A and B are shown apart, each in its own frame.
Chain A
């Protein structure tokens, strides 16, 4: 018998904070440096060294806590989390246990139809990076990342499906980018997510045995990995088996999860207060400063784009995913009031070219003024849409003004009926058979004739007027 299970997922994410220096020392956090070239006595845990906390990192946590509707702890302390592993030079990680900086928040997903509660947000230091070479009897350690500032965000077990897990990460990543605390790069590991997944009979109070997933490097992997794990666990349960509590690694290439068989050793971190750091007290002034600096968040912006610009929900979602694109839309919309056209240009040509060139918007020559001008040129019939796309691409690549491109390339659309009349008569005469077909009721024949006129005018004829004139003359 196939039982009906409820999927229960909690999500733990680690986000590398955008700070220039590490959490407790002045070593650079730049990605891709020579191994162990960004280390000092503090982040290597040499005896006698003392950590000193990076203010920016605390700022970032407070900002995130506010964006995720958390209560910010007015007094926060740090703790040592003790464990032996080669990626941790001190054999303890400075983290937070009691009194984390943020607690009890939430994040709404799926068009606000689902609320995922946030249990806690805390600040800790990152570990070094281990490199394993196939067949070698040793592992290599690079401590450049060790001691960098890391934020942990833990949800309550409120996520109910692979789709919701993916939606949560998508929304969270978008927010972290909006508020500028993390670049959200999952491939490079600056945003890492570890879902824990369990199944229980629908209606049951007790949680099932949970499995933690690691090695998830994209949003697609979140969805696939969780979906696979749900399927695997329900199969085990349906066959009368029991799920083993363990950590499993997502294998992207083969689309499966694999047991990591880590040593049977219950987590026993023996947390105790970090005596090398004094408490962090967040007063009203600090909190207010952070709250005032908070930008409009993706959800609020989506709602505003729908209400103020009359955009479809789909457009609003696409346009607000990145702050840069959303800002750009606002700027174009301030000049050009054909909002749907602005949206179409951004979602179509702009995003296509950004994808193609791999550039960020500010690296290109596209400006709100240029896009608004192109839309105006189309609106008043000066150029047709096909030419407009060519103009857009040239402006995007070179920064040349649209009106100049139109003039230089002789793209001005022919809307003058007198000028088009002669050409249309010639086309009808040269294609009399097709013209007769149309007169006999074959609508499709008109399209061919329009095409011929466009060809004669090298695409510059105004299609609406050509259509109208053809119908009149036939």
Chain B
């Protein structure tokens, strides 16, 4: 099997998604990703040169709303799932700028 996606790329994607992979998982996902790529190779055999790219499966368009204000959640509910809070703010590990 030719590898479409290297293990390094899988680790990079995992990092971007903030997922910590152990040795076994990194191997496993690399193998699975490559299997998926193979499936797509199969689909690529179809000639789609005359088909417009599909951005959405629904044919609907312009689902828009009026610019009007509706009530927001009470601050306590907004913060209910926060791991940590401080004076009405979400508190997160310090971000260096």
Q: Give me the interface of A with B, judged by CB distance under 8 Å.
A: 19-21, 25-28, 34-41, 44, 52-58, 77, 82-86, 99, 130-132, 136-143, 249, 260-262, 268, 270, 273, 275, 277-281
Which residues of chain A come closer than 8 Å to B88, judged between CB atoms? 34-37
Q: Is B42 in the interface zone, CB < 8 Å from A?
A: no
In chain B between 13 and 64, which residues have their CB closer than 8 angstroms to a CB of chain A?
Answer: 16-18, 55-58, 60-64
**A21/B67 in contact, CB under 8 A:** yes
Q: How far is the CA of A86 from the CA of B16 in the complex (A)?
A: 14
**B94/A139 in contact, CB under 8 A:** yes
**B89/A20 in contact, CB under 8 A:** no
Choose one: A25, A52, A130; the contact of B63 (CB below 8 Å). Answer: A52
Q: How far is the CA of A262 from the CA of B73 in the complex (A)?
A: 34
29 residue pairs A–B, Cβ–Cβ below 8 Å: A25-B70, A26-B68, A34-B75, A35-B87, A37-B88, A38-B72, A39-B78, A52-B63, A53-B63, A55-B67, A56-B66, A56-B67, A77-B55, A83-B16, A84-B18, A85-B95, A86-B92, A132-B94, A136-B94, A137-B94, A139-B93, A140-B87, A140-B89, A140-B92, A268-B16, A275-B57, A277-B63, A278-B60, A281-B61
Which residues of chain A come closer than 8 Å to B71, judged between CB atoms? 26
**A58/B64 in contact, CB under 8 A:** yes
**A278/B73 in contact, CB under 8 A:** no
**B56/A273 in contact, CB under 8 A:** yes
Query: A138 and B86 in contact (CB under 8 A), knowing A54-B64, A86-B92?
Result: yes
Q: Residue of A at shortest CB range from B17?
A: A84
**B61/A142 in contact, CB under 8 A:** no
Apart from A26-B69, A40-B73, A54-B65, 15 more pairs, CB < 8 Å: A21-B67, A26-B65, A34-B88, A35-B89, A37-B88, A53-B65, A58-B64, A77-B55, A83-B16, A138-B91, A139-B91, A139-B92, A140-B87, A279-B62, A280-B62
Query: A139 and B95 in contact (CB under 8 A), knowing A21-B67, A278-B63?
Result: yes
Choose one: A85, A140, A143, A278; the contact of B62 (CB below 8 Å). Answer: A278
Q: How far is the CA of A27 from the CA of B68 in the complex (A)?
A: 9
**B16/A28 in contact, CB under 8 A:** no
Which residues of chain B come closer than 8 Å to A20, judged between CB atoms? 67-69
Q: Is B79 in the interface zone, CB < 8 Å from A?
A: yes
What per-residue 1/0 map shows which CB atoms of B72-85 lie under 8 Å from chain A? 11010011000010
Which residues of chain A come closer than 8 Å to B96, judged between CB atoms? 261
**B70/A27 in contact, CB under 8 A:** yes
Q: How far is the CA of A139 from the CA of B75 in the complex (A)?
A: 18
A96 CB, nearest partner CB in chain B, Å: 11
B23 CB, nearest partner CB in chain A, Å: 23
Q: Residue of A at shortest CB range from B97?
A: A260
Q: Residue of B at shortest CB range from A215?
A: B97
A30 CB, nearest partner CB in chain B, Å: 9
Which residues of chain B come closer than 8 Å to A37, judged between CB atoms? 72, 75, 78, 88
